[in-house]
Amino acid sequence: MTPEEQAPGREALRGARRVVVKIGSALLTNDGRGLDEPAIGGWVDQIAALHRRGMEVVLVSSGAVAAGMVRLGWQARPSAVHELQAAAAVGQNGLTECYEGHFARHGLLTAQVLLTHDDLSNRKRYLNARSALRTLVDLRVVPVVNENDTVVTDEIRFGDNDTLGALVANLLEADALVILTDQEGLFDADPRHDPHARLIPEGRADDPALAAMAGGGGTLGRGGMTTKVRAARLAARSGAVTAIASGRQPDVLTRLAAGERLGTLLRPERAPMAARKRWLAGQLQVRGSLTLDAGAVKVLKSRGSSLLPVGVKALSGDFVRGDMVLCVDEQGQRVAKGLTNYGADEARRILGKPSHQIEALLGYMEAPELIHRDNLVVL
Ligand SMILES: Nc1ncnc2c1ncn2[C@@H]1O[C@H](COP(=O)(O)OP(=O)(O)O)[C@@H](O)[C@H]1O
Ligand SMILES: N[C@@H](CCC(=O)OP(=O)(O)O)C(=O)O
């Protein structure tokens, strides 16, 4: 059997028990004309149908800023953070009200869950968010998740909801992430600019060739296909398949759940990572970077070893013990990410040195490794 045959494909969607559905801004707001209520009603009807069949669905919905702009009568998306925050606060109200009303037609309760990057990067808050979401799902409530745009600033925002959708899929170990957008799926070029662009029906979530075809978004959406392909790679870490499809296709969700070949399906190729490693991999903020020699790159990749100072050639950034740092090879390619046992000043003094010299060099030894393998994830 080839790896392609072994990997979960369309049947993973058919048999999915838990699914995260992400609906993008471009689609939700009918290209900027305010919330597309009839369309939202249609997606809710499909989710309710899946729910009745026993499927657990978590919704990740964008649209707060775009809906707020329309309510406030603003023509153009503001660039000032405080205005974006205000628009999100006004628009999120409308979103919640809209979903609540439509799900109520089916006798289903919804729950508004607003998350920030900090909620998922701080381990304690991550575990809290996980148990709250799990409880809601167990109670058969449909969580409606968005980024808490009103309190985030540029440095700490996910920005696009594709990434948030993937992290929620990881958090709940969902079987599938379905990304509904305004295109039929991933094309080999941006169909907005290339009329000859062709749809890619299936691929590997971590295929770099697909990432290269994906471009940025329209005026309303944030990340375009770039963040959708990256989200598929993130979702694959917990074994989820990702479908990217047009929310304008009639019955798109129920047809996907029936295993129909719609849109683009991106399959996970590697075995799912343990939960803690996934949490590490999902961290977006890194404080510094370490350049590894070829020997260190090899043992990290082939044996999952810890990173010792002896294998590090250079470092950059201003990090402290416990911060996330990126490990790159001598060509600058990303190799791994992990939580460092030493701050930048100490690490600089022990670079390239065997671990038995650490105590003599620093006057103490926190640990023999710069990054322990439990705190390291190979990318
Ligand atoms: N290779 C590609 N295939 C399909 N769409 C692409 C591609 N590259 C860029 N895009 C753009 O990505 C847009 C969808 O992303 P985005 O605007 O962020 O929407 P959303 O709000 O649904 O996330 C499409 O309208 C399209 O113009
Ligand atoms: N959190 C933002 C959504 C960000 C956004 O537009 O994301 P996306 O739909 O992925 O392009 C909002 O509700 O306006």
Report CA(24)–ligand 2 centroid distance (Å): 6
Q: pLDDT value at position 8?
A: 61
Report CA(186)–ligand 1 centroid distance (Å): 8
Query: pTM of the full predicted structure?
Result: 0.80
Atom of ligand 1 nearest to the CA of 214: 1
Residues 264 and 344 in one domain: no
Report CA(375)–ligand 2 centroid distance (Å): 31
Residues 203 and 293 in one domain: no
Atom 5 in ligand 1: which residue has the minimum CA distance? 190
Amino acid at 210: L
Tokens of residue 25, six digits: 């801004």
Residues 348 and 229 in one domain: no
Residues 181 and 155 in one domain: yes
Atom 14 in ligand 1: which residue has the minimum CA distance? 224
Residues 314 and 234 in one domain: no
Q: Of 278, 306, 341, which residue is a domain's last?
A: 278
Write the pLDDT tens digit of every residue in 131-176: 999 999 999 999 999 999 888 776 667 778 999 999 999 999 999 9
Q: What is the CATH number of the domain that holds 214?
A: 3.40.1160.10
- Extract the residue ranges of the chain whose pLDDT is less than 50: 1-6
Atom of ligand 2 nearest to the CA of 61: 13
Residues 302 and 266 in one domain: no
Residues 253 and 296 in one domain: no
Residues 110 and 249 in one domain: yes
Atom of ligand 1 nearest to the CA of 223: 18
Domain count across the chain: 2
Write the pLDDT tens digit of every residue in 224-279: 899 999 999 999 988 999 999 999 999 999 999 998 989 999 999 877 777 778 88
User: Which stretches of the chain are DSSP H helices?
Assistant: 3-6, 10-14, 25-28, 37-52, 64-72, 81-104, 117-121, 123-138, 161-171, 208-213, 224-236, 252-257, 275-281, 294-303, 344-350, 358-362
Provide ipTM, 2 decimals.
0.97
The domain containing residue 331 runs over which residues? 286-378
Please state, in angstroms and rounded to a whole number, the distance separating the CA atoms of residues 186 and 168.
21
Residues 262 and 305 in one domain: no
Nearest to 186 by CA among 234, 247, 229, 236: 229
Q: pLDDT value at position 270?
A: 75
Q: Is 298 annotated as a binding residue?
A: no
Residues 9 and 97 in one domain: yes
Q: Of 254, 278, 302, which residue is a domain's last?
A: 278
Q: pLDDT value at position 142?
A: 97
Q: What is the CATH number of the domain that holds 362?
A: 2.30.130.10
Q: Of 278, 303, 323, which residue is a domain's last?
A: 278
Residues 168 and 229 in one domain: yes
Residues 187 and 313 in one domain: no
